[in-house]
Structures are given as structure tokens and as C-alpha cells.
Amino acid sequence: MAKAKDNGAAMTPAERRSAGSLASIFGLRMLGMFLILPVFSPYAKGLPGGQNATLIGLALGAYGLTQALLQLPFGMLSDRYGRKRMIYLGLAIFAAGSFVAAAAHTLYIIILGRSIQGAGAISAAVTALTADLTREEHRTKAMAMIGTTIGLTFAISLALGPALYALIGIPGIFALTGVLAIVAMGVVKWVVPDPVVSHFHSDAEASTNKLREVLRNPQLLRLDFGIFSLHAAQMAMFVVLPFALAKTGGINESDHWKIYLPVMLVSFIIMVPAIIYGEKRGKLKQVFVGAVALMVVTQASMIDAIHHFWGIVGLLLAYFIAFNILEATLPSLISKIAPAASKGTAMGVYNTSQSLGLFTGGAVGGYLSSVFGASGVFVFSTVLMAVWFLAATGMKAPAAVRSQMYHLGGLSAERARELTAKLTKLSGVAEAVVLADEGVALLKVSQGGWDEQGALELIGGM
């Protein structure tokens, strides 16, 4: 007989330790990626090859290309060779790339190092290990911890990067990220528990069998284009922004944290109520489209304001309000729109689109700045944001639903189909699928309430 676990039970200490430690691994790795963003361009300009802005952009975005190519294979290989083994390999590759970049005396070698960093693409493997170590009913909480950590890491990087640049320089920052990757390997070894059983999780991992379904979904493709555009514009902006702040404000790069820190703090304060309003009132599309519209305005206004210090600061505040809202709402929209059994695949495509955006933004931003100057970069970003805005306005408003998962015991395919049909008929259930091979029931249920007791009775009766 299948038995549903108690959905109201709290996370166990082991689950909290697993989620927290894996979130810290994400954070340590992303810290290494983002610390150089606010200060790299001025440093790179003094290196051999640094007079070519296209190469500076490639150095910033190079890791995105190798990460896009390898993160899904890393996740799939972790099913075969073990989660921790692939995470160790990825962190070792990332550390090697960091040390190559730290020892570099030319921009070409830094591009090589950044490419190697991106090749340590552990994101999918870490997500899969998180799924192995948490019960279905708590997996959303664990993934939220990881998502929150990534957002905080980006914010911390903008403030911490300039301060570290003053203390240890860019080579020191690269070396530090290599050390952090080694520390992360220790966390995996001694803090993260070993999973009792590892198996494929449709809600957390990508499947080649479901790629066609995901790639043919126009609503998901809108979101994939959105995350691509968001990060392409971000990376292009950081090719020119450090120069603009230094030139218009007379502020040394090591002091740019004095701008980023208050801007990020205020933007977070404004972002939280907007997200809560969108989720609780069923207005997520309106909040989302409004943020995209704000992004169009900030990028278009930057075309001229990039030459005026206070104009840059004011638009940075508006930019990060929009950026933080979009970073938070996009994964939520993916979860609401993707078919329940294809959520992991949809997130895999989404993450790959993000990485491709980072690479494209760096490469295109560098080229445009060398040919047209900083204003040309923001013309490019404005066009991207405007196309995204048109795509976002045509998006169907997502249903006000949340994900619910239940563990099942052994169940035949026939009984799974029978249970799926019965769960689908329950009040407040928008979608239900029972995966016999994974022993799990995946549901999308109304945020306004649903017949959970009926679901528990049906599952317990199987």
C-alpha cells in the first residue's frame, strides 16, 4: 500500500543541514563568478589585449558558454556516476580555472581561465543531490534556500568585489575563488550527508525525453528568452559601467561599493512587497510585466545618462528594483507554467538560457563598446528589453497555483494512472500526475485552498 508522508511535518535536522550546506556550495561558487564583475573591466584594460573591449567582454562572459554547454550533461552524468563524484570534479575544474586566471598576465589567459571555471558546471548535479536528500514535501523549501543564496551572493559580490580589489587585486580575487572552491569540496565531503538512494527526480532534473515538450511550449520559451535577455543586458552593462562611474563621479573602482551597497539594499526593500503582492493577490503577471517595462525604461535612459554620475546612480536603483523582481518571479513562473512532470527539464533549459545570456552579453557588449561606446551597449540592451516586453505582454497569466508533492510506495503503472485520474478530479487540483517509476505524486493546487485531505485519503488507500 502506498503511504503519503506527513506534509505538515517540519524539515528534519538532516534535511536542514543538507539544504543549507548545498546552498552554501552554490553561494561559494557564484561568489567566485560575480566578485570580479564591478571591477574587472578597468583592471583588464591595463593587460596585454586589454585595449580591445571585445576581449574584455569575452573574459567576463566566457564562463557562461562552457557552463551552458556542460551543466545539463553534468546533471545527467551524476545519475550514472554519483552526485558527489561529479560535484567534486566540477569544483576541481572550477578551482583550476580560478588559479589559471590568477596567474594570468594577459587577457587571453584570463579568458582561458574563465572558460575553465564555467566548465565546472555543478548546478544541475547539486540540484539533483538536494532532491536526493530532501523529502518531496520539503523540496520546494530546499530549492528556495538555494535560490535565495544565489540572489544574496550576487548582491554581496557587488559590494564586496570593489573592497577586495583594493586589498588583493583581481589576481587575488581569482586565487580566493579557487580556495573557496576547495573549501566547498570539504563541505561536500564532511558536511553534506551521503544520499541513501540516488534516482532521477522529474521535478528537479532534466530529461532528454521531455526536451521536445518543453522547447515547443511558447509560454516557457517566453520565459527562457527573458532570462537570456536579462543576463545578457546585465553582463553587457558591466563591461562599461565601472568606467562610467569612475569617469563621471571621480570615484576609484575600489570605492564603487559605496554606490552598489545602498542601491542593492533599497532595491531589496522595494522588491519584497512587490513579490508578495504578486503571489498573494494573483497578480504575478502584472508585477512581472511592470518590471520588464521598468527595465526597458532604465536601459533606454542609460543611453544618455551613462555620461552623468547621478543619472547613473538613480537609474541603477531603478534597474536593480526591476532586476531583483524579475530574478525572483521568473523561476516561480516556470514552476507554475511547466507541466508537473517536466518541471526539472524546464528549469534546466531556463538555466542554460541564462548562461548563454551571460556569454552573449559579455561578447556583444564588449564589441559594441569598442565600436560605438557605452551608449551603443545600452541601445543593444534596450532593444533586447523591448522585445522581451512584447513577448511578456502576450504571455498567458499563470494560474494561482503552487506545487505539492507526495512520496508513494511501490505502485504499478495501471494503479498510477488510476490515482492520477482520481487526484485530478479533486477540488482545487489544477494538475496531477503520478510517476510509478519514481514513486511520487506531483500536483499543482490552488493557492486559495484545495482538498488536501481527499488527496491524502486517495494516496493512503492505494
CATH of the domain at 273: 1.20.1250.20
CA geometry: angle 71, 435, 69, nearest 5 deg: 10
Please give the pLDDT value at position 461: 74
pLDDT one digit per residue (tens) for the chain, 462 residues: 344 444 446 889 989 999 999 999 988 888 877 899 999 999 999 999 999 999 999 999 999 999 999 999 999 999 999 999 999 999 999 999 999 999 999 999 999 999 999 999 999 999 999 999 998 888 888 888 888 888 889 989 999 999 999 999 999 999 999 999 999 999 999 999 999 888 899 999 999 999 999 999 999 999 999 999 999 999 999 999 999 999 999 999 999 999 999 999 999 999 999 999 998 888 999 999 999 999 999 999 999 999 999 999 999 999 999 999 999 999 999 999 999 999 999 999 999 999 999 999 999 999 999 999 999 999 999 999 999 999 999 999 999 999 999 988 778 889 999 999 999 999 999 999 999 999 899 999 998 899 999 999 998 876
Q: Is residue 2 part of a domain?
A: no
Contact 122, 86 (CB under 8 A): yes
Contact 137, 455 (CB under 8 A): no
Q: Which of 407, 405, 399 is nearest to 447 (CA)?
A: 399
Distance CA 433, CA 441 (A): 6
**What SS3 state is found at 429?**
strand
User: Looking at the structure, do residues 252 and 224 belong to the same domain, yes or no?
Assistant: yes
User: Looking at the structure, do residues 106 and 238 belong to the same domain, yes or no?
Assistant: no
User: Looking at the structure, do residues 306 and 177 belong to the same domain, yes or no?
Assistant: no
User: Looking at the structure, do residues 293 and 163 belong to the same domain, yes or no?
Assistant: no
Q: Is residue 1 part of a domain?
A: no
Please give the pLDDT value at position 157: 93
Tally of CA atoms within 13 A in the half-sphere of 372 that contains its CB: 12
User: Looking at the structure, do residues 413 and 384 belong to the same domain, yes or no?
Assistant: no
Contacts 24+ apart (CB under 8 A), 193-198: 193/14, 193/17, 193/18, 193/133, 194/84, 195/83, 195/129, 195/132, 195/133, 197/132, 198/78, 198/79, 198/82, 198/83, 198/128, 198/129, 198/132
User: Looking at the structure, do residues 118 and 96 belong to the same domain, yes or no?
Assistant: yes
User: Looking at the structure, do residues 247 and 125 belong to the same domain, yes or no?
Assistant: no
Distance CA 450, CA 462 (A): 20
User: Looking at the structure, do residues 234 and 380 belong to the same domain, yes or no?
Assistant: yes
Distance CA 155, CA 261 (A): 8
Tell how far CA 131 is from the center of its chain.
17
Residue 368 CB contacts under 8 Å (≥ 6 apart), including other chains: 236, 376, 377, 379, 380
User: Looking at the structure, do residues 133 and 226 belong to the same domain, yes or no?
Assistant: no
Please give the pLDDT value at position 448: 86
Of 350, 383, 398, the position where a domain reaches its end is 398
Q: How many domains does the chain have?
A: 3
Gyration radius of the chain's alpha carbons: 22
User: Looking at the structure, do residues 219 and 352 belong to the same domain, yes or no?
Assistant: yes
Q: What is the dihedral of CA 333, 212, 30, 270, to 10 degrees?
A: -10
User: Looking at the structure, do residues 65 and 97 belong to the same domain, yes or no?
Assistant: yes
Of 398, 421, 444, the position where a domain reaches its end is 398
Q: Is residue 5 part of a domain?
A: no
Residue 420: CATH number of its domain: 3.30.70.100
Please give the pLDDT value at position 462: 66
What range does the domain containing 417 cover? 401-460
Q: Is residue 4 part of a domain?
A: no
Of 179, 205, 231, the position where a domain reaches its end is 205
Q: Is residue 80 part of a domain?
A: yes
User: Looking at the structure, do residues 242 and 356 belong to the same domain, yes or no?
Assistant: yes
Residue 6 CB contacts under 8 Å (≥ 6 apart), including other chains: 137
Q: Is residue 3 part of a domain?
A: no
